Structure 1
């Protein structure tokens, strides 16, 4: 057979395979796989803004570093409590606008109102009510954040049940994260900070919150459009009526082994990564240890390219071998690169790092600081498809389609654990003398700041990844297992239609 005939045969084979998948699975269009994660990432846009809230609360509102850290931690504990409530309401919602769309919209509205009021008025409140006023606005923000998060995870179970498509959702979600936070770094370090002369000028937060609300609004509209045709009863599990109650959350967690393992792995990762992603960490690494905070922004475009390449090949790998195997490979990449980064900064001279000094230190640092976050984004992106897989496992096991409760059970424990992240940062820095204000780009270098940065940026994440690797050895939802589960669910849906 000539090459032309072989290509035609391969094309026909792919067409037959696609037709078979269309028959066996509830598949989404490509544009839906692109747009829906955008709506979910509106939550990430607000998160970028709130990464700076400790600077605003401590330096402008005047709460102090330790008080600000404990307030943010306490409100995140409240955040974990809102998840099961929102999840239950979502699962019981069966209106003409579906389950997912109302919660995406409500989340955006609540986050927009609360952040606009917070950054424009909290520092103007009377001294006697300033703390209470800030906390109330933060709690409203949390409710909105929860609505968007639960809707995003639940919507993935509604949009497609094809094990081959679900990694694509995680890939696009991670792509949006990559692109946004690449420009976030440039926007912050090359534009906002120089324009407003540091983090202690309230005009910086005024401009940032307006930009955030406008961008998130566009993303939410895209997400709602994408899920519109799928957000209906025929795509809600087996078609049976679910009567889930609050007490059922414990039964689900107790009986769902994959959920237990996933929660343990993801929660340990989240605690570490949320601690590492605190905006104070690049200030410590680039501004103080290396002595060149502008380099943080200069790394943004190279990071964007490497991250997108990593996502492209990583997601294709996961589509072929399954989400579980792809996640494990990405975590190993994280451990190796960040271990090498630690030894480089510890044994080498970080002051030699800079684009005006292209020696070993600079080249090795750039390679590792590009590869490490790329592996992090890939591993994080591959956690998203695990939630709808666990939802389908639960539906097959018990007959209950409860994406809201599954998502909320995970996020409840996840947030309860990760709520410690701001406290960890605050306590570590307070322990080395920063009790009133956090270190800034002008803070002099010291050994105590170096080791604080190494622990917060590298040590804590390696601990989280090791836990994840141990847990994933027992995670049962491989690619073949999910194909088997979808076949069983299809049969149950057909049986319910007949009966």
Structure 2
């Protein structure tokens, strides 16, 4: 986890401080190489983080509690960070300037490193072989061993589909350009995004529908401009919708641990690292399309050479692009999640059966 975090921090610093100084012909190739290395660091950290949850606890009652606590703390942190960008950095620098991103990336690096240290401290006492599956030293795995897991483990199949489609929706709607279109251009006040983030610490498809109707038939510029109909509807629907989305996000890591235990129960093999990397690879592969989706839609709205900024005028095309990306894509992701969870084989009773089975296998071993 620590090695992956340091590698990501180093690459982020290079990207934001030096790539723009390169000759034009080298900027894109160098960026692609650096980003590929960044993904290696990302995978090193997240795969270990996900597999480490298996060692922390296998109590079917404790894992959901972990997800709850993780979700609340993550939401608090992200809400604060979302306030930091539109209400502090943008007013400080006047726009999305290079200086703004330099300060933003240094803040992110420092905060990420601190949180990684907390993660290391948290798992330190459980990072021992007696907490590994059936109490052995682990299983030697080969690359070919991934295919049976992907093919036979229905739990990880459905979880990957649910999580990756959710993540596409979250990444698209949370993309800085999309947030800028919605709040700076449609609402007319970019600082509102920070105010709203502060209120959404505590959603469903049905809550997005009244928001779409509000933006299409209402007066978006009235949002957060005193106590009025638009403000009340927006705050209620946004808070409930955001809360529901965060609930689904907070269950992912405990569910990966459940999938790893399911594999141990099903095959007798303790392979949480493989489970974490399978999830991370497919999740990252699918969700990486989020930026491409945003770029393509914005280009179709007329912004082919540069992304919209707070100084641009709102066009009809940009309005509908904002509605599609901010509301429509997340709704499609939630529908895919509902369908995939219909076929997810693990529930509370099944997890009690699995843990009993693993205890029996461990005792026999």
TM-score of the two chains, using structure 1 as the length reference: 0.71
1:59 alignment counterpart? none
CA distance in 1, matches of 2:180, 2:219: 18
CA distance in 2, matches of 1:394, 1:477: 12
1:181 alignment counterpart? 78
Structure 2 counterpart of 1:238, from 125, 129, 134: 134
Query: Is 1:471 aligned with 2:301?
Result: no
CA distance in 2, matches of 1:367, 1:485: 40
Task: Give, in angstroms, the shift of residue 435 of structure 1.
Answer: 0.4
Number of matched residues?
A: 364
Structure 2 counterpart of 1:281, from 163, 178, 194: 178
CA distance in 1, matches of 2:68, 2:220: 34
Classify the secondary structure of the residue corresponding to 2:25.
Answer: coil
Query: Is 1:435 aligned with 2:304?
Result: yes
1:494 alignment counterpart? 363
Classify the secondary structure of the residue corresponding to 2:90.
Answer: helix
Task: Give, in angstroms, the shift of residue 481 of structure 1.
Answer: 0.6
1:341 alignment counterpart? 211
Closer, same or farther in 2 for the Cα pair 1:128/1:474, shift >3 Å? Answer: closer
2:285 alignment counterpart? 416
Per-residue Cα deviation, 1:158-188 (whole angstroms, up to 9, x for no partner) = 1110111111222233223212221112211
Task: Give, in angstroms, the shift of residue 144 of structure 1.
Answer: 1.0
1:388 alignment counterpart? 257
Structure 2 counterpart of 1:147, from 41, 44, 56: 44
Counting only pairs closer than 5 Å after superposition, residues 232-271 of structure 1 correspond to structure 2 as: 232-240=128-136, 241-271=138-168
Q: Is the Cα–Cα contact under 8 Å of residues 156 and 169 in structure 1 kept in the other structure?
A: no
CA distance in 1, matches of 2:48, 2:191: 37
CA distance in 2, matches of 1:238, 1:417: 33
CA distance in 2, matches of 1:436, 1:294: 26
Task: Give, in angstroms, the shift of residue 205 of structure 1.
Answer: 1.8
Structure 1 counterpart of 2:103, from 196, 202, 207: 207
Q: Is the Cα–Cα contact under 8 Å of residues 292 and 354 in structure 1 kept in the other structure?
A: no
Classify the secondary structure of the residue corresponding to 2:117.
Answer: helix
CA distance in 2, matches of 1:377, 1:455: 20
Unaligned runs of 5+ residues in structure 1 are 1-103, 308-332
Instruction: Name segments (4+ residues, structure 1) moved above 6 Å.
Output: none
Per-residue Cα deviation, 1:208-261 (whole angstroms, up to 9, x for no partner) = 222222212211111111111101111111134412211111111111111122
Work out which of the two has the higher radius of gyration on C-alpha atoms and give 1 or 2. 1
Query: Is 1:355 aligned with 2:251?
Result: no
2:12 alignment counterpart? 115
Counting only pairs closer than 5 Å after superposition, residues 271-310 of structure 1 correspond to structure 2 as: 271-304=168-201, 307=202
1:367 alignment counterpart? 236
Task: Give, in angstroms, the shift of residue 300 of structure 1.
Answer: 2.8
1:319 alignment counterpart? none
Task: Give, in angstroms, the shift of residue 269 of structure 1.
Answer: 1.5
Per-residue Cα deviation, 1:182-208 (whole angstroms, up to 9, x for no partner) = 111221111111111211x22112212
Classify the secondary structure of the residue corresponding to 1:384.
Answer: helix
Task: Give, in angstroms, the shift of residue 148 of structure 1.
Answer: 1.1
CA distance in 2, matches of 1:412, 1:361: 41
CA distance in 1, matches of 2:316, 2:9: 41
CA distance in 2, matches of 1:120, 1:238: 47
Classify the secondary structure of the residue corresponding to 2:304.
Answer: coil
Per-residue Cα deviation, 1:307-342 (whole angstroms, up to 9, x for no partner) = 2xxxxxxxxxxxxxxxxxxxxxxxxx3212112211
CA distance in 2, matches of 1:267, 1:207: 30
CA distance in 2, matches of 1:300, 1:466: 24
Task: Give, in angstroms, the shift of residue 352 of structure 1.
Answer: 2.2
Query: Is 1:227 aligned with 2:123?
Result: yes
Classify the secondary structure of the residue corresponding to 1:415.
Answer: helix
Task: Give, in angstroms, the shift of residue 472 of structure 1.
Answer: 1.4
CA distance in 1, matches of 2:115, 2:70: 12
CA distance in 1, matches of 2:104, 2:187: 27
Per-residue Cα deviation, 1:290-319 (whole angstroms, up to 9, x for no partner) = 111111112232223xx2xxxxxxxxxxxx
TM-score of the two chains, using structure 2 as the length reference: 0.96
